[in-house]
């Protein structure tokens, strides 16, 4: 597979999401610098729907339509009361576009996220749009226009700003760009652009992915196929390990949620968009079943509520046949070059 050029990867919302995640999740260092985590931030949730009171929701619906927004990332801080609401965008958009309706909902919803997180007192958020570096100024101009329009309607507003994600100098860089004054810890963390991950000269940036595929995001088809291959390969590895540890004879359940959690280094536990998670779990089950059905005399059945696979292992010979079948699956064939290095998460 020939990968897209750097500018296409930098504009990919899944790539952008993973840069944000690497900045938030604790790391042992090396290639990765979790700069937001180092300044007190931590991942609260992925794809969590912001809640609005009934009165505020109706007022907002008149200018932005019905429905509640689900930002890509919600981040909390160990001491600062202002949370971060982060949305990833390939490029800027105008105030007249359909995307602006979502932005208005984020600006109003981010004014107080107490109902969203179950806080007993008001919790403001700072709304951040992450995009490629050349689009930040135009995107901020749109956000300012939307803020002005919403203020005229008497709606409460969150402060907002932009983050830039850039591939340069053999690294992925995260920077704070145009916007309202940021919360103090965010301003300290990104007082200058920070290299979140460093690549070797011939590396692809794609090994960066914690969440390799998000079915709710429109991507370049090559990147979507690659993401599916990455997560399927990790799931196969986890399933092989579980089967290798089983006591025989045993009826074993391969729970898709558990496998996906291991394949995403625990990040999927923070994924609140169940419809998207279920699609990933369905992919994992279908890839596993394709391999397991090839094993002669194996009793195996899949189920969808919850997603998983039940199989019965009766002997060491049967276990060996199952492991052999899983190891023969070449999900990596689509990668044809980019390697997935060991990830130095803490």
Same domain, 184 and 229: no
pTM given for the model:
0.88
The domain boundary residue, chosen from 145, 169, 204: 204
Same domain, 184 and 249: no
- Tens-place pLDDT, residues 78-120: 999 999 999 999 999 999 888 999 999 999 999 999 999 999 9
Among 167-181, 204-218, 288-302, name the one with the lowest average pLDDT: 204-218
Same domain, 106 and 183: yes
C-alpha 283/C-alpha 232 separation (Å) is 8
* pLDDT at position 4: 75
Residue showing tokens 């979790």:
34
Give the count of beta carbons closer than 10 Å to the beta carbon of residue 315.
10
Same domain, 169 and 46: yes
> Confidence band (pLDDT; 50, 70, 90) for 303?
very high
Asked whether residue 216 is domain-assigned, the answer is no
Query: Quick one: CA dihedral 208, 173, 132, 336, positive or negative?
Result: negative
Give the count of beta carbons closer than 10 Å to the beta carbon of residue 316.
9
Same domain, 198 and 266: no
Prior bond of 249 cis (ω within 30°): yes
| Radius of gyration in angstroms for the set of CA atoms belonging to the chain, rounded to a whole number | 22
What 8-state DSSP symbol labels residue 67? S
Domain that holds residue 269: 221-334
List all residues 6 or more positions away from 326 whose beta carbon is below 8 Å from its beta carbon.
Answer: 236, 239, 240, 243, 288, 291, 292
Asked whether residue 20 is domain-assigned, the answer is yes
Same domain, 160 and 225: no
Same domain, 273 and 325: yes
Among 33-47, 69-83, 200-214, name the one with the lowest average pLDDT: 200-214
- Tens-place pLDDT, residues 318-327: 999 999 999 9
Same domain, 173 and 305: no
* pLDDT at position 98: 85
Same domain, 236 and 118: no
C-alpha 1/C-alpha 155 separation (Å) is 49
Side-by-side strand order, sheet with 250-255: 250-255, 307-313, 299-304
* pLDDT at position 344: 44
The count of domains in the chain is 2
Same domain, 200 and 225: no
Q: Which of 284, 199, 162, 265 is nearest to 9 (CA)?
A: 199
Q: What angle do CA 192, 210, 300 make, to 5 degrees?
A: 175
The domain boundary residue, chosen from 145, 179, 204: 204
Q: Is the pLDDT reported for residue 160 higher than 50?
A: yes
Q: What is the CATH number of the domain that holds 49?
A: 3.40.91
Asked whether residue 212 is domain-assigned, the answer is no
- Across the chain, mean pLDDT equals 89
Same domain, 150 and 282: no
C-alpha 321/C-alpha 305 separation (Å) is 28
The domain boundary residue, chosen from 140, 173, 204: 204
**H or E element at residue 304:** strand 299-304
> Confidence band (pLDDT; 50, 70, 90) for 123?
very high
List all residues 6 or more positions away from 243 whose beta carbon is below 8 Å from its beta carbon.
Answer: 252, 313, 319, 322, 323, 326
Give strand pairing partners of 303. 308
Same domain, 90 and 124: yes
- Determine the average pLDDT of the residues in 197-208: 75
């Amino acid at each position: 597979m020939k990968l897209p050029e750097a500018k296409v990867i930098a504009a990919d919302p899944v790539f952008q999401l993973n840069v944000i995640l690497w900045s938030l999740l604790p790391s042992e260092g090396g290639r990765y610098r979790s700069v937001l985590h180092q300044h007190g931030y931590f991942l609260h949730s992925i794809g969590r729907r912001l809640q609005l009171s009934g009165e505020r929701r109706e007022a907002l619906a008149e200018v932005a339509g019905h429905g509640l927004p689900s930002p890509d990332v919600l981040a909390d801080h160990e001491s600062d009361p202002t949370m971060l609401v982060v949305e990833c965008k390939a490029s800027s958009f105008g105030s007249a576009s359909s995307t602006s309706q979502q932005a208005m909902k984020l600006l109003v919803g981010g004014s107080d996220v107490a109902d969203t997180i179950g806080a007993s007192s008001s919790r403001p958020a700072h709304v951040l749009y992450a995009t490629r570096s050349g689009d930040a100024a135009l995107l901020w101009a749109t956000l300012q226009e939307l803020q002005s329009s919403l203020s005229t309607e008497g709606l409460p507003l969150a402060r907002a700003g932009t983050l830039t994600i850039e591939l340069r100098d053999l690294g992925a860089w995260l920077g704070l760009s145009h916007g309202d004054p940021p919360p103090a810890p965010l301003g300290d963390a990104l007082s200058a652009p920070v290299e979140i991950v460093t690549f070797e000269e011939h590396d692809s940036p794609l090994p960066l992915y914690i969440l390799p595929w998000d079915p709710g995001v429109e991507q370049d088809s090559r990147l979507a196929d690659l993401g599916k291959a990455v997560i399927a390969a990790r799931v196969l590895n986890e399933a092989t390990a579980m089967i290798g540890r089983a006591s025989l004879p045993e009826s074993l359940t391969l729970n898709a949620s558990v496998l996906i959690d291991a394949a995403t280094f625990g990040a999927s536990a923070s994924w609140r968009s169940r419809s998207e998670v279920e699609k990933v779990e369905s992919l994992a089950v279908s890839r596993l079943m394709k391999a397991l059905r090839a094993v002669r005399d194996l009793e195996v059945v899949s189920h969808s509520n919850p997603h998983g696979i039940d199989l019965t292992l009766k002997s060491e010979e049967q276990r060996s046949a199952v492991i052999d079948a899983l190891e023969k699956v070449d999900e990596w064939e689509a990668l044809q070059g980019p390697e997935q290095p060991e990830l130095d998460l803490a």
